[in-house]
Amino acid sequence: MRRRVRDTAGAQGRSGAAAAVLAWYDTHARDLPWRRPPDPTGQAPLPDPYRIWLSEIMLQQTTVAAVAAYFKAFTERWPTVEALAAADETEVTAAWAGLGYYSRARNLHACARMVANDYGGRFPESAAELKRLPGIGDYTSAAIAAIAFGEPAPVVDGNIERVVTRLFRIGEPLPGAKPIVRAKVAEMMPGERPGDFAQAMMDIGATICVPRRPACLLCPLRPDCEAETAGDQTAYPVKAAKKAKPKRRGAAYAAFDRSGQHIWLRRRVSKGMLGGMVEVPSSQWSSRSDGATGPNGAPFAANWRKIGEVEHGFTHFDLTLEVFAAVIDETPESDGWWAKLERLGAEGLPTLMRKAIDLAIAFQESQYRL
């Protein structure tokens, strides 16, 4: 039996589609802080695995725009995995504050310590080994292996799911269709430049094959795209229906000292919502539908006054937090510490807490002006 003649696009791989993708990437790659420019030769040195790993963790379910500033801050403060491993976990979670999904920060730190202590400061180079490290799953292990180590690992993220389900009109709903998508990516994989191929596919998804109004006329995969031919691009990917978000209520208690210069903070337990993060004392809003509200839910007695409410949307519920404030004369006999208002930025407050505290401070300042 005769073999089909192999695509003769040279280093561009076994699939014409992959060749088109790489050629597109050579002139249209996004310029991102953690990225090396496209390498048409496939011979350039690979990027620093530490920076690739850090960027990939930050980018999980998070936009490029949100990540950029954090990536800069982290790499300036901790230029190597050893430096990050030497930091306290609380420093790392504080620096992560505002980026969300805080288990990532704890896993990031744990992973840095494993790489520093168990791997001599060098990341393992295969997707299979990388996947054993905390915070690194299917996507991230493949991405690091491909981008930082040149392994032809099939990378599948949300962008690539969209591109590939359209390309092949895959009608199975996600996430069940993920193995099909991964198999298609593996089939498309070029013989060279696996890292550039992965990044190119993600860039196509992020800039051309977008959820609404995809710019198919600009797409290097247009000639191959079944959905474009059928004209039903936006019908893909098919996703399982989402559940309704419940509404929850809770309360936060902002205690100021007599000087008005300090607020009482404490650290949340490491599991669950905002795990390990700093908060103004609050009720059990994270674990019940009607978190105890009112002045009686406070961790210590004071002349609590309700000063307002803040709204905050989480992934799986919407929260209304009643905010109470009081001035107290004694340091509470409960876990926590006085934080200087001018230095709240260094405390690493998650956004929900930032909202509650901003409201409390505004109220406090309005009282002093009277």
223 vs 313 by CB, closer to DNA: 313
What phi and psi, each to the nearest 5 degrees, are found at residue 311? -105, 140
> Residue 65, Cβ neighbours under 10 Å: how many?
7
251 vs 326 by CB, closer to DNA: 251
34 vs 197 by CB, closer to DNA: 34
- Distance (Å, whole) CA 350 – CA 339: 15
Unique residue bearing structure tokens 């905050």? 312
First to last CA, the chain: 92
We find the least distance from the C-beta atom of residue 23 to DNA, in angstroms, to be 19
The residue type of 257 is: D
Task: Tell me if residue 56 is catalytic.
Answer: yes
CB 108 within 8 A of CB 92: yes
Catalytic residue from among 56, 151, 161, 279: 56
60 vs 80 by CB, closer to DNA: 60
Choice from 15, 75, 165, 199 touching DNA (CB under 7 A): 199
Task: Please report whether residue 157 would count as binding DNA according to CB under 7 A.
Answer: yes
- Distance (Å, whole) CA 363 – CA 131: 48
Span 103-132, contacts to DNA by CB under 7 A: 103, 107
Unique residue bearing structure tokens 């208002």? 341
Question: 310: Cβ–Cβ under 8 A, 6 or more apart, which residues?
Answer: 252, 320, 321, 323, 352, 355, 356, 359
Choice from 150, 158, 299, 308 touching DNA (CB under 7 A): 158
Q: Could you tell me whether strands 278-279 and 262-267 are parallel, antiparallel, or unpaired per DSSP bridges?
A: antiparallel
We find the least distance from the C-beta atom of residue 197 to DNA, in angstroms, to be 13
Whole-number Cα distances in Å, 310 to 162, 342, 352, 354? 35, 22, 8, 10
> Residue 221, Cβ neighbours under 10 Å: how many?
22
* Number of residues in contact with DNA under rule CB under 7 A: 60
Residue 256's DSSP bridge partners are: 263, 327
Task: Please report whether residue 245 would count as binding DNA according to CB under 7 A.
Answer: yes
The one segment of 8-16, 41-49, 70-78, 272-280 that binds DNA by CB under 7 A: 272-280
Span 311-350, contacts to DNA by CB under 7 A: 312-316, 350
The one segment of 7-15, 74-82, 181-189, 209-217 that binds DNA by CB under 7 A: 209-217
Choice from 159, 282, 283, 293 touching DNA (CB under 7 A): 159
Q: Could you tell me whether strands 318-327 and 247-256 are parallel, antiparallel, or unpaired per DSSP bridges?
A: parallel
CB 21 within 8 A of CB 204: yes
CB 320 within 8 A of CB 283: no
Task: Please report whether residue 352 would count as binding DNA according to CB under 7 A.
Answer: yes
Span 48-107, contacts to DNA by CB under 7 A: 55-56, 59-66, 97-103, 107
61 vs 296 by CB, closer to DNA: 61
The one segment of 17-25, 72-80, 152-160, 294-302 that binds DNA by CB under 7 A: 152-160
We find the least distance from the C-beta atom of residue 170 to DNA, in angstroms, to be 15
User: Which contiguous run of DSSP H or E holds residue 247?
Assistant: strand 247-256
Task: Please report whether residue 259 would count as binding DNA according to CB under 7 A.
Answer: no
Q: Which residues are catalytic?
A: 56
Binding site for DNA (CB under 7 A): 30, 32, 34-35, 55-56, 59-66, 97-103, 107, 134-141, 143, 157-159, 162, 199, 202-203, 205-206, 210-212, 239, 242-243, 245, 272-275, 286, 312-316, 350-352
